[in-house]
Amino acid sequence: MAKRNIQVCMTPELFSLYSDNKSIVVVIDVLRATSSMCIAFEKGVEKLIPVSTVEEALEYRNDDRNYILAAERNGKPVNSFDFGNSPQVYLDMDVKGRSVVMTTTNGTKCINIAKKDHDVVVGSFLNLDAIANWLIKQDRDVILFCAGWKGLFNLEDTLFAGALVDLLITSNLYDNSCDAAQASVVIWNSAKSDLFSFLKNSSHRKRLSKLNIDSDVHFCLKLNQTDKIPILKGDVLVVDNE
Amino acid sequence: MAKRNIQVCMTPELFSLYSDNKSIVVVIDVLRATSSMCIAFEKGVEKLIPVSTVEEALEYRNDDRNYILAAERNGKPVNSFDFGNSPQVYLDMDVKGRSVVMTTTNGTKCINIAKKDHDVVVGSFLNLDAIANWLIKQDRDVILFCAGWKGLFNLEDTLFAGALVDLLITSNLYDNSCDAAQASVVIWNSAKSDLFSFLKNSSHRKRLSKLNIDSDVHFCLKLNQTDKIPILKGDVLVVDNE
């Protein structure tokens, strides 16, 4: 039986080179967009609309459906929005059945790039095992799409890609011939005993540290806090009910 | 004293994001273009003209100066050229004082991308310590520019970038805040005890293996076979005589 293909795309700038119009794409922006999405669904959010610009998000402001508006740029919440992209705001609030409109510096843009030619799901450490098991059931090629930082490679998304490649390869169903996938696993294996320390010099943790949100970083590096798989249907993320 | 900046650009597709119009750029294409360049100068080549296309290389064919013409595409020598990009052809031939015109799938293109706004030197495992020591003397910011494979990330160039970052960081003169530089060092540290085995599943080693040139791979992974620093002057690589 031919093995499935698994590729890691390290930044959005490279996505057109990996895109094949058929693989499932897992969008990864663990600090913090895709972590927030996973935990939002865990806490009962029904729909999440990822948009690329602040302007698009603002169009939902006067809608009767009472959307939660979440917008982050450069690590900070955008003025006048309900939320930025901290995952922890969903913990203390009743969001059951609500809809969220979200725009972030990197992650939501990647969803909108990938959706043109691919089925899209959302991954983070918070749903690591769940997404690995879900992918194994699909019998499809996979592209792990790291959001990076403004087009640049980043450590935390590649680290998560490595964790996911490691789980998928263990299933023996995937061919591990992508150099970036192999590199990601090396990085994961070097880091997995202490993710927080491994990232201490990473550019984004430094960026977040200045904003005093180390507790968000700790939260986003917790494994397996939800079994929800956010999947894109049209332009809206919902929980996959397979 | 402010530390110098060191960045690793993992593929040519990302170069515009790292380019700052002032850093020295080290072009890295260890399998095999930049290894061939280093050994060509070690064996006495006087000038090496890196060109981007086969057509440009052919323009030198009828020149009185009797250029050696080297052209590789997809791992193979191009028909009717003297050489492909195997470094070992320079070992058995008297090339003292000769000039080489070279075009390769990835490496020579990177030199021509970088030269627009940067001073350019050429690195490979064959001149690792020499280039580290040379950079330390320059007191400049550095971009390590991995050629990759047709725009994609590759393991072998990132591995070499990690080896060079590791040496530079040890000097305590460089700030290691680039995520890609940190990732490269992790990869280097995982691989350095046996580079050949580490690369056994890499896409390019598989590609070369089909072409039966594992001995070139062994050769390119030897450390410190030359102290020559190929440096670009105008459009021509020569040995730096500092």
Which of B14, B179, B190 is best to mutate for the A interface (most A CBs within 10 A)? B179
> CATH code at A23?
3.90.1560.10
**pLDDT at residue A208, rounded to an integer:** 77
Q: Which residues on adjacent β-strands are paired with residue A77?
A: A72
Inside any domain, residue A242? no
Inside any domain, residue A223? yes
Cβ neighbours around A177 below 10 Å, total = 15
Q: Does A19 touch chain B (CB under 8 A)?
A: no
Q: Considering only CB atoms, which chain B residues are within 8 Å of A191?
A: 186
Inside any domain, residue A241? no
Inside any domain, residue B98? yes
Q: Which residue of B has its CA nearest to A150?
A: B17
Q: Considering only CB atoms, which chain B residues are within 8 Å of A149?
A: 179
Inside any domain, residue B240? no
Q: Does A189 touch chain B (CB under 8 A)?
A: yes
Q: Does A179 touch chain B (CB under 8 A)?
A: yes
Predicted TM-score (pTM) above 0.90: yes
3-state secondary structure of A227: coil
**pLDDT at residue A242, rounded to an integer:** 64
Asked if B225 and B129 touch (Cβ cutoff 8 Å), the reply is: no
Q: Do B179 and A151 make contact, defined as CB atoms within 8 angstroms?
A: no
Q: Do B201 and A189 make contact, defined as CB atoms within 8 angstroms?
A: no
Inside any domain, residue B95? yes
Q: Does B37 touch chain A (CB under 8 A)?
A: no
Range of the domain at A98: 4-233
**pLDDT at residue B242, rounded to an integer:** 64
**pLDDT at residue A125, rounded to an integer:** 98
Q: Does A200 touch chain B (CB under 8 A)?
A: no
User: Which residues does chain A have with pLDDT short of 50?
Assistant: none
Inside any domain, residue A238? no
Q: Does A202 touch chain B (CB under 8 A)?
A: yes
Please count the structural domains in chain A: 1
Of B80 and B172, the structure prediction assigns the larger pLDDT to: B172
pLDDT, mean of residues B150-175: 97
Q: Do A176 and B201 make contact, defined as CB atoms within 8 angstroms?
A: yes
Its ipTM equals: 0.94
pLDDT at position B208 over 70: yes
Nearest to A14 among B11, B154, B155 (CB): B11
Asked if B98 and B66 touch (Cβ cutoff 8 Å), the reply is: yes
Q: How far apart are CA B203 and CA A187, in angstroms?
A: 18
Inside any domain, residue A239? no
Nearest to B10 among A10, A182, A190 (CB): A10
Q: How far apart are CA B69 and CA B212, in angstroms?
A: 22
pLDDT at position B70 over 70: yes
Q: Do B179 and A10 make contact, defined as CB atoms within 8 angstroms?
A: no
Q: How far apart are CA A28 and CA A111, in angstroms?
A: 9
